[in-house]
Structures are given as structure tokens and as C-alpha cells.
Amino acid sequence: RNNICPKGGASIGEALKQNNTLTALTLQYNQIGRTGGKAIGAALKENKSLRELNLGHNFIGPEGTKHIAEALKINSTLLVLNLAWNKIRSEDASRIADALKVNTTLKSLVIYIEGIGLQGLNDLVESLERNFALTKFTLHSCYKSYTELIYGLSGLENKMGNYIHRNQLVEEERGLRTGELSFHERSRVLAFGQSSSGSGAW
């Protein structure tokens, strides 16, 4: 946490347009707001090196989310994206869902479930019918009962689980052909090697 304001977020966005070496960026628990979200979204349309981006707890709101979603339709290098706690609404989740339908590289997505509602969640799940890349989908929530109500009881949990499992199998098969560990296999290896007392940045 560095108390980065919207102006600072905009500056980071401009820097990312020129940078071709940075692979991971964590801005969690700052206040870049919609201005920073818009700038970083614009940068993701041009940046070719960033693999992991954590924007959790930045309140980028609908405007920032809109630009991030537009970037996901174009960006072909980002693998991990955390958008938890950003005041994302149902229509914003639908924009992300539209992006997931055409994005072929993002492997992991984190979203805060409160605010997106059943419609937003349904759109996200349905987008995975056409997305074969995402192998990890994390939904954050402060209220377990709320999550169970709109996620578990709606039947979307099983549906999403089936899509994610399908994508993991597709990636594992691809890995067998190339001799490389799949993304979720690498994630398991990294998680196993982490200290149990550390919560990590994601």
C-alpha cells in the first residue's frame, strides 16, 4: 500500500505503455480510482510484457472497469488479473464477460461478488462456454450466505466448475504435447512452496 492516487495511477498507465520488461505489477490497496483504471486499461492495449496485474481494492468503478474490459479484448499477454473490491456492478461484470468471450490468454481472474448480482455472475459463467483459457476463477465475498444464495443455490457454481475443469484439461493436454507445466499446475507448485503463514499479494 503506497497511497497512490488517481493522478499516480494515470502516470503508471503512461509508463506501462513504454515499458517492455515488467512482468508483474501489484497496486492493491491504493486509490487509483476510475482515472487510474482508465489509464491502465489504455496501457494494456499496448503493453506486451505484463503477465500479472493486481488492482484489488482500488475502486476503479464502472468507468475504470469498462476500459480494463476493452483492453482484455485486445491484450494477448496478461495471464493473471485481480479486480476484487473495485465497485464493479452487474453491467460491468457483463462487459468483462464479453471480453472473456474473445480473450484467449487470461488464466486467472479475481472478482468481488457483491455488486455484480445474479445477472452479472450468470454472464460471467456463460462467457466461459466460449472461453477455453481461464483455469482459475476466484469470487471474493464478505458474506458466505450471500455467496451461497446467488452462486451455489442458483446452480452456477457447478456450471462454472465444469467449464474451469474443462479448460484445465485442455491446458494439461497442451502441456503434454509441449512438455511444459500448465498454468494451474504451476500455481499448485507455487502454492505448495509458500509459507502457510503468508497470505500473499493475490
Distance CA 52, CA 74 (A): 16
82: CB partners within 8 A, 6+ apart: 28, 53, 54, 55, 56, 110, 202
pLDDT in tens, the chain (202 residues): 678 999 999 999 999 999 999 999 999 999 999 999 999 999 999 999 999 999 999 999 999 999 999 999 999 999 999 999 999 999 999 999 999 999 999 999 999 887 888 889 899 999 999 999 999 999 877 666 666 666 665 678 889 999 999 999 999 888 877 766 656 555 544 443 333 333 334 4
Q: DSSP string spanning 11-62?
A: HHHHHHHH-SS--EEE--S---HHHHHHHHHHHHTT-SS--EEE-TT---HH
What pLDDT sits at residue 20?
94
Distance CA 10, CA 16 (A): 10
User: HEC states along 84-149?
Assistant: CCCCCCHHHHHHHHHHHCCCCCCCEEEEECCCCHHHHHHHHHHHCCCCCCCCEEEEECCCHHHHHH
105, 79 Cβ separation under 8 angstroms: yes
Q: Residue 110 pairs with which residues in a beta bridge?
A: 82, 138
**Domain 6-193 annotated CATH 3.40.50.1950:** no
In 3-state terms, what secondary structure has residue 81?
strand
What pLDDT sits at residue 30?
96
In 3-state terms, what secondary structure has residue 82?
strand
What pLDDT sits at residue 143?
64
What pLDDT sits at residue 200?
38
Domain boundary assignment for the chain: 6-193
What pLDDT sits at residue 197?
34
What pLDDT sits at residue 185?
57
What pLDDT sits at residue 115?
83
44, 25 Cβ separation under 8 angstroms: no
